[in-house]
Structure 1
């Protein structure tokens, strides 16, 4: 493949002669930290192989900023390894990365290869096929970018073991926020303290923006050239792309936003899509940051009285609880879960997910940062974007694909459980204890979106009413069997049944009219 967009790599890395090497390590784009690799790699400094694959990039039209982030961070890491004394072979191929490795191994019969098991299913299968082809010349080592042992937990998770109990066990194992066998402060979580709406004019510190260097600009030019039709915008790329920059983002979060992260964890506000969230998932998910160092920093802030307990606990729970739990779920449920569709929805994704254009202000506000930055925090993802998808009877696989390609922090191991397990209930309740749907009242409670909307949150049906209001009750009625069989949600069916026939008719007619007019993806 042409190396026209690899000038900085070729200028700064001396291309090694592969026949001079007997041992090589293949480093994937989401494994950019040698600290968790076996010590012999840091001691011996073997040949490191990095791979840019055009076919891998074409599998899914990833958000342009996701493509820029992945490629720029991998190039920066490869350069750092070369500066640290590692021989580096930075390979570029039109085909997939396993084809590139097959070519390298076939042409260099004395070369032995080690790779770390990929976190994503398809990549793992591709590398295992390479291992099968070259037998004793290729070695797979365990993935050490996570804290939990998958084999220890996956059968329990597959049987419906709740995240809360997994999280408590992880707290005991790691010792985070523990006093002996008891949790710090006496409670395992402080969710009740973390559901405040952001007060009007409450100050929110901005996340630092990283200026693009020449390498990132070269990558941006390549992405615009090769993947110009992909989703999202490439302009104003400001993500960190090196470990040093990511550590700065971590320290900045701990010092400026962690303390108020907890109270406003679920809040949403007009024009403020980050609020007090860390955005560190972007860097955790490709190795620039490690979960232990992030949790250590957060716990240290609590013990130094720089952050309140409910904020630190909520933040640590996202990492050693939810992040680890969904990874185990992914391993336990794959590959069958890819086809999960409990409600048997078949509709295409609403067109607004691609354009951001809609009269519904909450949807517009939650889609804008995704289109521009490839990011929004977990409440817009769960309680607005996923909620609307479910209420409009959209095929959950369509939504899963959209989340996978739209977010900079997206990888299948984390997206699939969150979408097909948590937010759409597509797996029938293995991960989530109830369907996560709501009316517009939740959005009003947690945001100021309704003040700027073309619909009226106070109206329950009719053309002026907030669509979430009537779509929610329409969903409850249509999916009454699921709700009736769910101990946590069966009361909602009773509430619907107690409505007057006139109200029920208005709900049905409003929903039918809205769904009929809703523009869908035509691809």
Structure 2
């Protein structure tokens, strides 16, 4: 049976279920660069180059195996601009009896795929994406009957099922989680290793020129492009992280330093999310390093928790609650996204440095995303949909299945606590403790109110006051609300006045 096998831009894995049973003598692999995917949000230009170049390299690797690949380039004169329309055109070119695809990562693409069979009158088989460690069905089974869908309990179940870092029924070391040990500020004399970057080859340079010409107004710089675009390069990045960076990753994973865009972080999520790497091999290499004694338990567990725990958890939650999940707005946040999220033109140095690095690299690590841009968006009451669109635009690893729960639930608490047990709100003291951003800033984290006060300080108390009816009953918020209750009426009024002045200036 001749088959048209569809491979999407975030499915660049030879183990992809759509390629199971591939008959090189009869089957055709269809890969499509379409404008709809490049523009449903105006993606960072480095993200576009990463995906398109990786797609082209993956197509060539299939051809080297003798596979027939029908590759539709973005600038092909007959390109109709969407997956559905390009599938129809491909069916006109090839005499096939069925279409086989792997379930996509995003709801909107899933909806389109489910209409293909009716649209074209040909059998369409959508197979499970086996590259994840927890299937959508398995997550749904885990979630059934639970009052709270906490990641920690899911993570423990995944540890038990894989046997990773387990000693029989108990966790290695006697603890499931070493998060408290993974929050050290970076010492001023700490040496940060240089990160692997890859010089763009001719294929990538051609894609860079295409993106420059087609999407000149999209966010981000291209000059610094150095992402891996092949599986071989991605594997090289993985080995570099495990041998050079992972030993110190645990201690400093929450730290931030001006000019150090990557610190000890893996920076592997773009490769995982487009399929150049798979989570099992990533985790197993880290576990091998731990077994060999070259990586401490705290670092290994912290990294494993991000991949086996958090990444699998947010994907499961996304598919469990979509499409309605994106529509919730528990805190009734409605303020428009400030322009400086695009320009970095702000006196707040932490925001300026994080946004500049994001523009430069299409990357910021998880604490910058959660406790700098995300924390500000939460405290300022920015509209969830606008914030989520920004995160989807600016990061190379941002696909909706992973971006939406992280932003909507973790950063903005817009789901009312489905994902996180409390809002991740913090004052300037946290930023000062974990970074050097407050040095030479126009504001001081030690000044709580009045001239020179860090806006995070008074916005924090304003946030608690505005949302008291929604959050006061949360046991994890009891302490800050007790502190707020002890404030004098005059102090609370002064906080309200300065916060309003600041927020009105944003508008």
**TM tier, shorter chain?**
over 0.9
Aligned-partner Cα distance in 1 for 2:503–2:141: 40
1:78 equivalenced with 2:66 (yes/no): no
* Aligned counterpart in structure 2 of residue 31 of structure 1, from 5, 8, 11: 11
- The 8 Å contact of residues 6 and 101 in structure 2, kept in 1 or not, is answered as yes
* Aligned counterpart in structure 2 of residue 261 of structure 1, from 242, 249, 257: 249
Aligned-partner Cα distance in 2 for 1:60–1:340: 20
In the TM superposition, 1:407-486 aligns within 5 A as: 407-486=395-474
The Cα of 1:42 is off from its aligned counterpart by 7.7
Aligned-partner Cα distance in 2 for 1:42–1:461: 69
SS in 2 for 1:140: strand
Paired residue for 1:66?
47
Paired residue for 1:12?
none
- The 8 Å contact of residues 410 and 420 in structure 2, kept in 1 or not, is answered as yes
- The 8 Å contact of residues 329 and 415 in structure 2, kept in 1 or not, is answered as yes
Hey, which bits of structure 1, 4+ residues long, moved more than 6 A? 42-45
1:41 equivalenced with 2:22 (yes/no): yes
The Cα of 1:155 is off from its aligned counterpart by 6.2
In the TM superposition, 1:50-199 aligns within 5 A as: 50-92=31-73, 93-154=79-140, 157=143, 159-199=147-187
Q: CA-to-partner distance for each residue in 1:324-377, whole Å, 9 max, x for gaps?
A: 000000001100111111111111101111001111111111111111111011
SS in 2 for 1:89: strand
The Cα of 1:242 is off from its aligned counterpart by 0.2
Q: CA-to-partner distance for each residue in 1:126-157, whole Å, 9 max, x for gaps?
A: 11111233455321111112111222323654
1:323 equivalenced with 2:311 (yes/no): yes
Paired residue for 2:235?
247
The Cα of 1:107 is off from its aligned counterpart by 4.9
Distance 1:238 1:46, change over 3 A: same
Distance 1:63 1:45, change over 3 A: farther
SS in 2 for 1:35: coil
Distance 1:75 1:154, change over 3 A: same
Paired residue for 2:479?
491
Distance 1:504 1:395, change over 3 A: same
- The 8 Å contact of residues 456 and 464 in structure 1, kept in 2 or not, is answered as yes
Structure 2, unmatched stretches of 5+, are 74-78
Range that drifts further, 450-459 or 405-414: 450-459
Paired residue for 1:400?
388
The Cα of 1:43 is off from its aligned counterpart by 7.7
- The 8 Å contact of residues 157 and 328 in structure 1, kept in 2 or not, is answered as no
1:288 equivalenced with 2:288 (yes/no): no
Q: CA-to-partner distance for each residue in 1:382-441, whole Å, 9 max, x for gaps?
A: 011011011111101110000001100000000000011111000111111001111001
Aligned-partner Cα distance in 2 for 1:502–1:459: 17
Aligned-partner Cα distance in 1 for 2:388–2:60: 34
Aligned-partner Cα distance in 2 for 1:396–1:234: 28
Paired residue for 1:300?
288
Aligned-partner Cα distance in 1 for 2:260–2:25: 48
Paired residue for 1:355?
343
The Cα of 1:24 is off from its aligned counterpart by 2.1
- With normalisation by structure 2, the TM-score equals 0.96
- With normalisation by structure 1, the TM-score equals 0.93
Aligned-partner Cα distance in 2 for 1:43–1:483: 59
Aligned-partner Cα distance in 1 for 2:72–2:381: 44
The Cα of 1:58 is off from its aligned counterpart by 1.9
Aligned-partner Cα distance in 2 for 1:379–1:180: 33
Q: CA RMSD in A?
A: 1.6
Range that drifts further, 164-173 or 130-139: 130-139
Paired residue for 1:273?
261
Distance 1:387 1:155, change over 3 A: farther
The Cα of 1:60 is off from its aligned counterpart by 1.1
Aligned-partner Cα distance in 1 for 2:96–2:248: 56
Paired residue for 2:76?
none
